[in-house]
Structure 1
Amino acid sequence: MNAMTERPVALTSSEDVRRLLRAGDEIALLDLREEGPFAAAHPLFAVNLPLGRIEERIAGLVPRRDAPVVLYDDGEGRVARALPVFAALGYGNVSVLEGGLAGWRASGGEIFIDVNVPSKAFGELVEHVRRTPSLPAPELQARIARGDDLVILDARRFSEYHVMSIPGGQSVPGGELALRVRDIVPSAATTVVVNCAGRTRSIIGAQSLVNAGIPNPVFALRNGTIGWTLAGLELDHGATRVGEAPTHANVARARDAAATLARRTGVRLIGPAALSAFQADPGRTVYRLDVRAPEEYAAGHLADFRSAPGGQLVQATDEWIGVRHGTIVLTDDDGVRARMTGHWLRQLGWREVYVLDDWADLPRATGPEPLLLAGPLPESEPVSVAGLLAERAAGGGPLVIDLAASPAFRKGHVPGAVFAIRPDLPGHPRLEGADIVLTSPDGLAARLAAPELARAGLSVRVLEGGTAAWQAAGQALETGLDAGRALSRPEDVYKRPYEGTDNAAAAMQAYLDWEFGLVAQLERDGTHGFSVLE
């Protein structure tokens, strides 16, 4: 990141941002701070893109280089450092939010906390409008104890479910619910309870089944695993129960229901020709998303489509889509999941939502989602694991700086490495005269950061293959994060009150209280464009 060159900086007022949002015009409002400060205060449709992760994430969030982008921070100077990065990457329609976050607040703009807020606020609105049925934790526990005819479906990602779950629950991520539920329930009389960690995925999951017209009684578990814990009930840990795969007959039933919902909400079907036309349109930002499970995506997918499992896409749209009112093209191979996901995205205010139903003659690929870098990966001076070990054995060795996210650093890093957030490195007094080796989980973030330090006159190399290579060579990892040795505060990741097993009861209750107030905040904000199907 070079210092900002002398050039006129285009400004966009907060009022203009709100006007564009209400008008349905494309706009990407990007917050350049770390996730911790972002979660403490931001506009509703701001998308978090930390300064040090721009090259890694911008191509996915904003694939069209001349899409209108508005940058802001809260006076930390990150906008000035980001502008030349965007320019070097070819983004030519970039402006700065006048006055930054303080200007937004001063102009009367509503301020939101937490992350993935549009989806969470929408979930609260859905419950408010649809009166989505729910059960409190003690009532569900009583039904379990009586041996009632019920199934508990956990709508989170399997990794979250595996950490903690409702006893007897099975993993059926939200995008899979309408596809699989008919093969999971023993009968039409079986009660279905959908849960997540907090509220949103419980509500959206339960309402998905109601919308899909299954005959069973359906409930959301009120307040999810948070509500279960606050009621003094014990959670399971390490569960591996997975919902049944769907049969052909039930896929057909689910497809009919999903098609009806797609038509009612304005989701449109397209073929390859229309997709090509969208991609050729210079004024249209297009997102191509495969909503199936990640393992299905890896087994075979359409080239240039990203993996975005439907339940997570509805829960955290801003993790995939950076341009509000961009064009969204969804696909699957069953005719259910893309339509179900699309019917929610339309209600979330996305005006252009399409389902690509025909894969004929389109190029395919296999394997995990490819890396989407906005520019070429820069060259850097490497050091091998063996080389680093030899230098350490000879005495001392270089200063190893790990640019992993703080949770990954805590989980395991090269022994002696120090934690840092990339924007904090230039000018840091502890780097003067140091022999520096940068690393990161796969080495990518380290390679992206190295040239900036080299331009500042520092001696910097990159560990080949990153920390993964260190571990693959049979070397032990160190755990924890020593704040006294770290070069940055670990504010890069916001600690969710609904994830993990060590959350304080007061924090969990405060989170629920905040969610209950989101509908009122939406009314005050006035830019959301949500429209709940009734």
Structure 2
Amino acid sequence: MAKSITAQELRRHWINRQEIALLDVREEGPYSEAHPLFALSVPVSEIEVLLPSLVPRLATPVVVYDNGEGYVDRAVTRIVALGYHDVAVLEGGLSGYTRVGEVYRDVNVPSKAFGELVESIRHTPSLSAREVKTFLDGEENAVVLDARRFEEYSTMSIPRGRSCPGGELAYRIFEAAPSPDTPVIVNCAGRTRSIVGTQSLINLGVPNKVMALRNGTIGWTLEGLELDHHKTESVPLPSTETSRKARKYADAWAQHVGVLIIDGQKLSQLASEERRTLYLLDVRDPSEYAAGHTKGFTNAPGGQLVQATDEWVGVRGARIVLSDTDGVRARMTGSWLLQLGWEVYVLDEQCNVPENLRTIEPPIWHAKPDATAITVDELRALSDASVVDLARSPFYRRGHIPGAFFASGPELIQDLRVLEGIGPIVLTSSDGIVAALNVNDARKGISREVFYLSGGTDAWISAGHALETETRWLSRPIDVYKRPYEGTGNAREAMQGYLDWEYGLVGQLANDGVSNFHVVRERTVDENVVVVDVDDDDDDDDDVDDVFTCEHHQISR
């Protein structure tokens, strides 16, 4: 029996900046309806795939919960089997937590709540969709920069928009708008990346007039304005001259905020501390990372890292080291992560990383070939088999093995028990890994023979066999939350409801009191003083601020 932890004890970890990882082991759908601020979505059926990169250090305190579905015992067993040895169950589950703390809707909530806090404190300038449309109609030289990932931009974009993901804005701004007289509009799909992107350029100190498109492409759509589709225009990499200019601006802001720049020796020291979790993240564009990167560093493009920190960093209270090759992107990303309450460092881009740098090797689960695995040819030879697909529902909808049923990973045994037939059941998933992870649980829970397809649906495709799109649902597809700010065809009610929810996040943060967020204000007249708003439970811009004295532009705390 696993030990338990109370919600109050969990929250004290967050408030005191002590390392802890909180796992919601339900499907993403229920998770998106209600969860604590720093909870991670790690469905019980995918623990071995998702958990190691999110929580790489095996001694990290890990807490699991559900909402009474009965998943936690299975989750604890699987987490312990991976090698984690400080695992606890949240006392009372989600309903117990709601008695002492706020619960939040949607996903990537810490970053979105922080974005709203930034706007409320810094009064980030923005224009409505109609105002932007009118402005662009009368301003031929205005530049529209889309701060989302390129794939999102290409799906739908504001007219005249060019792709410039959030982490690239400070790096490429002087290439995108070389004249200080060029107005700049920053947009995303909703609010956060527009706010943070606009404020990034303002923080940088660019002379241009910079404004956010309020409510992004959602606001544009709700106003009945036309979007472009399948655009491929990107702001190019900066020239040597504009890169140096951006570097100077970024360095000044990073010093103002108190971002610590470290060398290889300090990096080695941080990496050698076995009692702390350390994430090494390369914040450059994925294409640059793919062309070459420092061993041990994972690619986490800066804009997305600020927007969705919980997709890379699962341990609240951990340390983060950022790297780039230009001295701009890591500094600007670090300035935001610091304000988000993380202990963050930036590796000097000119230093050499020690060849013997110690890095955490997360546990890796490998499927062991055994009697439960069958090949594509063996599956085709079975005349009475039922194929059950554990891929995420969007992948299942796009195409699956003919005749395959969709099943929920956490509810697999219950789903299999209602599956008609007496022949063997063959589990599959995109690459076969999730199917292999769950085959033993399935064999224990039902009387029929259960196998998994080695290589999964990918192997089926590689063998030259066709897929089908007719759906067969053993359970409701609640495994993926339908984001109202991604893709096209979203219901107006869902888009408006999402915006209304975002506007209420500052109030939730104030009532919750565990975020450790702070928003750095503009530089004061005295270059050696930084005024920092550290009150994370009040959205009033007239709060009394704490003043941190700086020596040589470094914050001493």
The two structures have a TM-score, normalised by structure 2, of 0.88
SS at match of 2:452: strand
Whole-angstrom CA distance in 2 between matches of 1:130 and 1:449:
49
SS at match of 1:426: helix
SS at match of 1:329: strand
Work out the percentage of aligned pairs sharing the same amino acid.
Answer: 53
Post-superposition Cα deviations, 1:152-178, rounded to whole Å, max 9, x if no partner, equal 111111111111111110111100111
Select which of 400, 405, 426 maps to 1:418: 405
SS at match of 1:301: coil
What's the offset of the Cα at 1:234?
0.7
Whole-angstrom CA distance in 2 between matches of 1:417 and 1:162:
32
Alignment gaps of 5+ in structure 1: 1-6, 365-370
Distance 1:425 1:51, change over 3 A: same
Select which of 442, 466, 475 maps to 1:476: 466
Whole-angstrom CA distance in 2 between matches of 1:191 and 1:429:
61
Q: Verify the 8 A CA contact 1:56 1:372 in the aligned structure 2.
A: no
Distance 1:421 1:272, change over 3 A: farther
Select which of 487, 492, 506 maps to 1:519: 506
Task: State whether structure 2 residue 133 is matched by structure 1 residue 133.
Answer: no
Whole-angstrom CA distance in 2 between matches of 1:406 and 1:240:
28
Whole-angstrom CA distance in 2 between matches of 1:435 and 1:390:
12
Task: State whether structure 2 residue 103 is matched by structure 1 residue 111.
Answer: yes
What's the offset of the Cα at 1:285?
0.7
Whole-angstrom CA distance in 2 between matches of 1:443 and 1:259:
46
Q: Verify the 8 A CA contact 1:155 1:172 in the aligned structure 2.
A: yes
What's 2:437 paired with?
448
Whole-angstrom CA distance in 2 between matches of 1:377 and 1:285:
27
Q: Verify the 8 A CA contact 2:56 2:362 in the aligned structure 1.
A: no
Q: Verify the 8 A CA contact 1:62 1:323 in the aligned structure 2.
A: yes
Whole-angstrom CA distance in 2 between matches of 1:234 and 1:40:
31
Counterpart mapping for 1:499-510 below 5 A: 499-510=486-497
What's 2:374 paired with?
383
What's 2:23 paired with?
30
Bigger CA drift: 519-528 or 354-363? Answer: 354-363
Q: Verify the 8 A CA contact 2:25 2:72 in the aligned structure 1.
A: yes
Select which of 9, 29, 32 maps to 1:16: 9
Counterpart mapping for 1:134-533 below 5 A: 134-355=126-347, 357-358=349-350, 360=352, 362=354, 374-380=364-370, 381-391=372-382, 396-427=383-414, 428-430=416-418, 433-456=422-445, 458-479=448-469, 482=471, 485-533=472-520
Select which of 58, 63, 70 maps to 1:70: 63
Bigger CA drift: 414-423 or 116-125? Answer: 414-423
What's the offset of the Cα at 1:356?
5.2
Distance 1:297 1:66, change over 3 A: same
Q: Verify the 8 A CA contact 1:133 1:220 in the aligned structure 2.
A: yes
Task: State whether structure 2 residue 46 is matched by structure 1 residue 48.
Answer: no
What's 2:545 paired with?
none
Q: Verify the 8 A CA contact 2:251 2:328 in the aligned structure 1.
A: yes
Q: Over aligned residues, Cα RMSD in angstroms?
A: 2.0
What's the offset of the Cα at 1:359?
5.7
Q: Verify the 8 A CA contact 1:269 1:357 in the aligned structure 2.
A: no
Tell me the number of residue pairs that the alignment of Structure 1 and Structure 2 aligns: 513
Distance 1:356 1:100, change over 3 A: farther
Distance 1:517 1:361, change over 3 A: closer
What's the offset of the Cα at 1:518?
0.7
Post-superposition Cα deviations, 1:244-273, rounded to whole Å, max 9, x if no partner, equal 211111111111222222222222122333
Whole-angstrom CA distance in 1 between matches of 2:381 and 2:64:
45
Letter in 2 for 1:384: T
Distance 1:461 1:524, change over 3 A: same
